[in-house]
Structure 1
């Protein structure tokens, strides 16, 4: 199976700020080397997890060090209470058919 490169970020948000946060977190321009991205949020809207798939760790690191990413993080900052992130390598697991 193909190895995948994944950046996962989980942010705890200020109450009632999910919509404003979502408007601020979309990258512009979209990063080179970004294959796919997903967002998952808690029922109460206080936590959001982003999962992005990259061509390589270097592509992800390049984006994370870029000026557009610094600007994006500054735009998100008023809505974020806490942030955790990590970069992972892995693969898709085979799920048995029932």
Structure 2
């Protein structure tokens, strides 16, 4: 299995703020060391999970502690009700017959 470094954040947002949240959520620059990013929304638009794949844990931590990320989080804050996040090491599973 090829291992990947992954940061996952799930946010519950205030009702009716999905559009504003999306504008605030997208970074203005491409972080160094970021390889891929995915976003998943609940059907009702009240919860968003972001999954980002990084070169290393150090690259992810450098972005997370940057002024740019701090500012982005401040812009998102008015729309966020709750947030859960974590850093993981893992990879894609092989599905038999797939």
Give TM-score, length-normalised by structure 1: 0.97
Q: CA RMSD in A?
A: 0.8
Q: Which residue of 2 aligns with 1:92?
A: 92
4+ runs deviating over 4 angstroms? none
- How far the C-alpha of 1:91 sits from its partner, in A, is 1.3
Instruction: Tell which deviates more after alignment, 22-31 or 57-66.
Output: 22-31
Q: Which residue of 2 aligns with 1:37?
A: 37
Give TM-score, length-normalised by structure 2: 0.97
Distance across 1 between alignment mates of 2:16 and 2:96:
40
- 1:1-98 alignment runs, 5 A limit: 1-97=1-97
**How many pairs were matched up?**
98
Instruction: Tell which deviates more after alignment, 25-34 or 56-65.
Output: 25-34
Q: Return 5+ residue gaps in structure 2 as ranges.
A: none
Distance across 2 between alignment mates of 1:78 and 1:88:
27
- How far the C-alpha of 1:39 sits from its partner, in A, is 0.3
